[in-house]
A and B are shown apart, each in its own frame.
Chain A
Amino acid sequence: MLHIKCPHCGLRSQNEFSYGGDASVKRPELNKEVSDQDWDNFVYLRKSQRGKHLELWQHISGCRQWIKVERDTFTHEIFKTLKANEEV
């Protein structure tokens, strides 16, 4: 079980969090033309990365904040955790 440092609450066990996928995905802006390809890529296409991965987690049983976690998907090492509005 991972140990994740919530930037708001501190170090907590994984079972307090829920996983939210790739944090680098940007939703296309509202009311803007989006090609079929771009939209499909946004909705469906995700890299199954081995190694460093910036991902979203929600501290669901804690402060309920969505946070960013930079984690190695192979070794599970967590390099850093960030608030939703912070960039790596």
Chain B
Amino acid sequence: MSENFRIEKGGLINRNKKISFKFNGKKYFGFEGDTLASALIANGVHLVGRSFKYHRPRGFFGAGVDEPYAIVQMNRNNEVDPNVRATEQELFEGLEAKSVNCWPNVDFDIGAINNFLGKFFPAGFYYKTFMWPRSFWYKVYEPIIRKAAGFGAASIKHDKERYEHKYEYCDLLITGSGPSGLASAYAAAQNGAKVILAEDKSRFGGSLLTSEVTIGNQSGQEWAEKIISELKSMPNVIVKNRSQVFGYYDHNMLVMSERVSDHLPKTEKYIPKQRLWYIRAKEVIISSGSIERPLVFGNNDTPGVMLSSAAKEYLKIYGVLVGKKPLVFTNNDSGYETAIEFKKNGVDPIVLDTRKDPNSEIIKEAKQLNINIKSSYVVVTAKGYKKVKSADIAKISDDKKNLSNIENIQCDCICVSGFWTPTIHLASQSGNKTKFNDEIDAFIPSQSKQKETTLGSANGIFTLEETLKTSFEKGSELSKQITNKENNVSIPTVVEKKSSNHDKFWCVPLPEGKNYKRFLDFQNDVAVSDIQLALREGYRSIEHVKRYTTLGMATDQGRTSNLNGLQLVSDIENKVVPQVGHTTFRPPYSPVSIGAIVGREIGKHSKPTRKSPMHYWHEKNNAVFVDAGVWLRPRYYKQGNENLFEASKREAKNVRQNVGVCDVTTLGKIDIKGPDSAEFLNRVYTNAWLKLPVGKARYGVMLREDGIVMDDGTTTRISENHYHMTTTTAQAANVLSHLEYYLQLVWPELNVNVVSSTEQWAGAAIAGPKSREVLQKLFPDLNVSNEGLPFMGYMEGNLFGVNAKIYRISFSGELAYEVNVESDNGNYMWEKIMEIGKEFNIQPYGTEALSTLRIEMGHVAGSELDGRTIPYDNSLDGLVSKKKDFIGKRSLSKTAYIAPDRQKVVGVVPLDKKTSIPEGSYIVKDAKAKLPNPKLGHVSASCWSVEYDNPFSLAIIKDGKNMIGQKLFAMSPLKNKTIPVEIVSSHYVDPKGERVRS
């Protein structure tokens, strides 16, 4: 298809580079520098989608971020990208996009029946209709609404694109590169400030690219180019295009999304799709400009009705005519600028001005060009369904209440200008108390809460001369306060055409007997009648009106609709706009992809992976790993075709029969030093610590102040004032913070220091009846006999040339030792243990075997110490000192904690000795009881006892101590299992603990 709407010369596109692309499956051509929107319009395509609620045909309304309609779904690298504005998507070779909100296709949309059923879809329709019958909502209504509505479908595939995060600090962050942004950035940069200048579009310059002005002796566009190239060459300035500052958060933290490669045909390897910048700025200059306001008239959402500034932009930047028979409908001078551009390109526009007798330099120029101008004229309604074909126009009375001389005129587009709305979203997000400016009928920033300043048209200043002057001054002033340097820049002279006052008129009355839909919010299909209805139904607060009618919601965030909506509410309520107030602006200003927010923190990258020094040995020896907190630990070592169950059983059995070795590097370790260490431990742990001799370890339990067990582990007295504490892998960081809290805040008088030494030590647990023989061979010079190194003893030794610490502690319930060496020697130690242990049939064992060993011994661990149990629940009564005070002790006397039927850990064995009990199963008395079946407790951990060769579980159940011997049921609704069980002692194997002491 050829381009019928491209003018021969002009625009900023590269006409030497033709680009092919597909829209809704059809192939078109455009040029490098086009957006998808400009290329489609060049090809005469104006129908790009269907509206949200009524499925009315949708075209283009704006030319950038202001676009409420033209949202498309992109297909890029076989990835779906929903919710993309065609006006922002730059064209690249092979681009593929399609319409959203239409089914089966954009030309024939079944949902459009909503349009003709319009009277059934008033404000609050969803709330009213679909609430009854209630059960229908989830099954019937919602799925249908979801299918018919929404702005495209998210991909259900894993997003293969790469997104990045970046943190940056600067003196001044400047959002927008129009005249105010350029001038303030330039002045600040000259004073040596570190400046970030962010432009949302691909081209810098903002309004300077489309306005007819002279700065110094250059055109606006040339001046912008010069300033930008100078800024780019300065080392203290970061200049970013395609970068939208979308959120203003606390303490001058702003977030910006940079579209790094969205405009490229294919992501090269290692080029991210988008980059999210977290910027902490000392000062923020908001130079986000303004957006043209629509005028409201009948069927003003018909494709071909668009902002006059957009029509001008398509012409001046892309060389594209939005129509060949344009009608310009304006209440101010901006419409004339667009009309003049049409005329200069050989197209005859008709201008309808709502004002009676407008007069200004621009209007004079239009008249000299013989442009047909009709004063006191309005568009009553657009005609045409999928594209504007004509318009009913009329003369309007001086009081703007009555229409006369209604006639129909041919046109193919209607360019509207209802004056300008400053873009105050960022200022409002920052907490700025905005105020209403009567002169421009719009809100502007007022009192700052954070360090921000709004300049230029975003601040309601619409002349270039004043914008440049104030922006140069402000940029210089703010930067000087930071850098203490001042390099004055001279403010250039400006030639621009003076404008006359705009007309406050914005909404064309309905002619008698007509009921045209007049839209306020184009994205959400909110018409004048919807707001009227909401107010009739009693909604008053603008926040409520917004939610009831959806005015100003979704991705559009009220950019084009806000003020007209407020005007209407004020008119009906007989209030002035400032009394009505505006709704809260919330980030993001424009949509941000979830991928960009997540960044690189996906899958395995969501937290750092920690590996022990022996990791590569485990890998080489067929370890299958499991995540244990941030650590990777061997779960089991696979031999041949073994599965998890077979391997862990073999490994556990070998510990019970011979000897096994387990990597325990991941245990938390805390080094404790200082003369008051013993006293401190005595307060932290529930048991007594003052009399622990040097060279001895002790098991301890620590509580939170509410009496709940926080963690357990052993602590060894290395020397008089030096202790080595171990914590569980999961709680290591919390325990350290906990200790620091008490030392720094509660008992600062204690002379104790704590530091994490988790990563300084590599640990190996050697466990099993033959472990002493292995240890003796590893340390031939030491006396490791039961007398030389008794249970809970500690020794230092030399392991084939490296220093080692030996703790006789056991988690498996077998005779066991933990050997620690400095991390760098970890692998060396491990290989020595394997080498020496060979003759004793040593085998490495993983976390699964480790669990089996501890469960059948009845040793409580994380699944019992789950943040809901107290020491008594875990049969740790013997460790709770009656004599001394400690953290959490006072809570242990709570009535519920000392109740006679308090929950307790017990053992559970299935009666058939075959069926494994799923973890999390409920224990109940009667499997057939009426639901909800009262539960006695839950199964916390399950294993296959290698000692007895049958399943065994631990459970925490009510009145546990009196339940031993009872026949109950374990029920797992998740697995649909009911298993008859017997309650036994939690110490299933070696209940007297003889093995560890042997």
Contacts and interface: CB of A to CB of B under 8 A. Distances in A.
Contacts of B167: 13
A85 B641 CA distance: 61
B737 A58 contact: yes
B745 A43 contact: no
Given A18-B737, A58-B740, A84-B748, A39 B891 contact: yes
Interface stretch (B155-163, B246-254, B872-880): B246-254
B278 interface: yes
Contact of B744 (A13, A39, A44, A66): A66
A60 B278 CA distance: 21
A78 B251 CA distance: 9
A79 interface: no
A58 B251 contact: no
Interface residues of B, number: 24
A65 B744 contact: yes
A34 B890 contact: yes
11 contacts: A1-B250, A3-B250, A3-B253, A3-B280, A20-B741, A27-B705, A31-B885, A43-B706, A64-B740, A66-B741, A75-B449
Interface string B668-700: 000000000000000100000000000000000
Contacts of A64: 740
B280 A13 contact: yes
A1 B249 contact: yes
B249 to A, nearest CB: 6
B431 interface: yes
A1 B884 CA distance: 43
Interface string B696-712: 00000000011000000
B856 to A, nearest CB: 36
A1 B253 contact: yes
Given A1-B249, A39-B890, A76-B250, 20 more contacts: A1-B250, A1-B251, A3-B252, A13-B280, A20-B741, A27-B746, A30-B885, A31-B884, A31-B885, A34-B890, A43-B706, A44-B706, A58-B737, A58-B741, A65-B744, A66-B741, A75-B431, A75-B449, A84-B748, A85-B748
A28 B746 CA distance: 10
A80 to B, nearest CB: 15
Interface in A16-48: 18, 20, 27-28, 30-31, 34, 39, 42-44
A56 B746 CA distance: 12
A75 B884 CA distance: 45
Interface of A: 1-3, 13, 18, 20, 27-28, 30-31, 34, 39, 42-44, 56, 58, 60, 64-66, 75-76, 78, 84-85
A1 B253 CA distance: 6
A3 B744 contact: no
Contacts of A2: 250-251
A66 B740 CA distance: 8
A30 B747 CA distance: 10
In the A-B complex, the 8 residue pairs with the smallest Cβ-Cβ separation, listed nearest first, are: A3-B251, A30-B885, A76-B250, A66-B744, A31-B885, A84-B744, A1-B253, A39-B890
A85 B747 CA distance: 11
Contacts of A20: 741
A65 B740 CA distance: 8
Interface in B728-754: 737, 740-741, 744-746, 748
A76 B431 CA distance: 11
Nearest to B707: A43
Given A1-B249, A1-B250, A84 B737 contact: no
Contacts of B745: 56, 66, 84
A67 B944 CA distance: 49
Which residue, B741, B745, B746, B748, has most C-beta atoms of chain A within 10 A? B745
A41 B251 CA distance: 34
